[in-house]
Amino acid sequence: MVALLNFFLIGTACADQTIADLNEAFGVPVFADESLWDDCAEDLAERLKWPQESQTSTDSSYRQYAGPDERFLGCRPYSLALYAEEGKPASLSMIFANKGDAVDYTPGNARRAGNEIRNYKRAIQEDKKNLIAALTKLFGEPVADLFGQGRETRESMKRWNWNGHAFLLASPRDEYVALRVMTTESADAGGRSRIPDSVIREAVAKRIEKRANGDVILKDMPMVNQGPKGYCVPATWERVMRYMGVPADMYTLAMAGQTEAGGGSSVAAVSAGASQAVIQAGRRIESPVMKLDATSVSRFIDRGLPIMWAMFSSPDFNNAINSRMEARKNANDTAAWKKVLADARRQVRKMRSHRDSGHVCMITGYNKHTGEIAISDSWGIEFAERWIMPEEAAAVSQTSTHTVINF
């Protein structure tokens, strides 16, 4: 009864606020009218000036890594994201002070990183306090709520409702401050989702694209740009989980995987943190041992399943594969292309793995005619598909054990 009364008060607290008042408080033109949910997602993204991050046949996302002078509700945001389904906004995610974006933990930067760690912890407390005050001024007192699927990825929230919109504020200790906006129905569901295996199997089967040149590639893979921080593990996990119908967010996955300030987390830790959410969604995590060649990876790609790969993303490796990207797009003669690969193969023995360049990406395709495999990095759309040789994979691979989310 108390909760219902609180929601009634929250729903009427903003009766005198105009759309102009709300947008002025937010600092950006979030609202064109009283509902976000009937807007065109592209129009909303253009209004907010958030560039497109990802586009699949059913959903899209837009993300802006904000500069130091930008403000949202009076606080500095770091990551601003819009998620859309079927061309309509589904949710907004604003990440403020957090341990990933606020700390530059590069070699030789230990002293400054120490100061940044102390500063970001204070900033989390300040942003939390200021955002609660700003939202309460707009919408009245919040109620407590929970959001998320799985023990390690579930968040305690303060929730405000307004006109079919739920504003959820989370601030796990020393992790981040996150404000998420979604429909009240989505918030009521608590972030839980369980899509039947039969539906996911049918969906991923349709995502296997076979090209005339022999490429077999998984399409409709969501892109998540990890930004300047070392969040390759949680960003890649978010992409695969969403692809497999499991709700996910790289910041909550980083928390679950005990990611270090500035980035840096293990596949095992994030896997353990995400496992309950994956299981509750009806999926399972596997750790197959295999060589990274076209024949081996085809066992999973042919079923629509991407493979998460822990490797060393060294300059030698990236320079080698980037140098072939444009030529590969225009290669129509398989025999001629195999000669190009033969020349490149002779350079692999010179490739150094650089043990300080640990990275996780996805394997999303193969070509049995050329022997290549396709990888996808969480660095933006331009890195969604690159092709490598098995010899290159062997030179930079961290382990022969890989990770797959299966049915």
Structure tokens at 170: 């989370």
Beta-strand pair 358-367/372-376: antiparallel
Select from 349, 328, 346 the least CA-distant residue to 337.
Answer: 328
Higher pLDDT, 92 or 1: 92
pLDDT for the residue 12: 42
pLDDT for the residue 256: 86
Please tell me what DSSP assigns to residue 302.
T
Q: Determine the Cα–Cα distance for residues 133 and 272; give it in Å rounded to an integer.
A: 35
pLDDT for the residue 115: 61
Q: Determine the Cα–Cα distance for residues 187 and 179; give it in Å rounded to an integer.
A: 13
Select from 77, 129, 127 the least CA-distant residue to 101.
Answer: 77
Annotation: CATH topology of 197-406: Cathepsin B; Chain A (3.90.70)
For 243-326, list the strands marked E by DSSP. Answer: 284-286, 307-312
Q: Which DSSP string do the residues of 18-53 spell out, in sequence order?
A: -HHHHHHHHTS---SSS-STTS-HHHHHHHHT--EE
Q: Determine the Cα–Cα distance for residues 165 and 168; give it in Å rounded to an integer.
A: 10
- 407 three-state secondary structure: coil
pLDDT digits (tens, 9 = 90+) for 206-219: 999 999 999 999 99
- Following CA atoms 120, 126, 131, 133 in sequence, which dihedral angle do they give, to the nearest 10 degrees? 170
pLDDT band of residue 58 (cuts 50, 70, 90) is very high
pLDDT band of residue 1 (cuts 50, 70, 90) is very low
C-alpha distances in Å from residue 229, one per residue of 46, 83, 265: 25, 21, 11
pLDDT band of residue 104 (cuts 50, 70, 90) is low
- 14 three-state secondary structure: coil
Helix (H) or strand (E) holding 177: strand 176-183
CB 85 within 8 A of CB 59: yes
pLDDT digits (tens, 9 = 90+) for 339-395: 999 999 999 988 876 778 899 999 999 999 999 999 999 999 999 999 999 999 999
pLDDT digits (tens, 9 = 90+) for 219-242: 999 999 999 888 999 999 999 999
pLDDT band of residue 261 (cuts 50, 70, 90) is confident
Dihedral angle sign, alpha carbons of residues 301, 307, 311, 313: positive
pLDDT for the residue 117: 62
pLDDT band of residue 6 (cuts 50, 70, 90) is very low
Domain boundary assignment for the chain: 2-189, 197-406
Q: What are phi and psi of 315, to 5 degrees?
A: -60, -40
pLDDT for the residue 120: 87
Select from 297, 310, 275, 306 the least CA-distant residue to 399.
Answer: 310
Mean pLDDT of all residues in 290-299:
98
Dihedral angle sign, alpha carbons of residues 33, 39, 42, 45: positive
Select from 62, 24, 59 the least CA-distant residue to 43.
Answer: 62
- Following CA atoms 275, 307, 317, 230 in sequence, which dihedral angle do they give, to the nearest 10 degrees? -20
Average pLDDT taken over every residue of the chain: 90
Beta bridge partners of 79: 65, 95
Q: What is the largest CA-CA distance in the chain?
A: 74
pTM: 0.90
pLDDT for the residue 257: 84
pLDDT at 181 over 60: yes
pLDDT for the residue 9: 40
pLDDT for the residue 264: 72
Q: Determine the Cα–Cα distance for residues 405 and 362; give it in Å rounded to an integer.
A: 12
**365 CB-contact burial (10 Å; exposed 0-12 / middle 13-18 / buried 19+):** buried
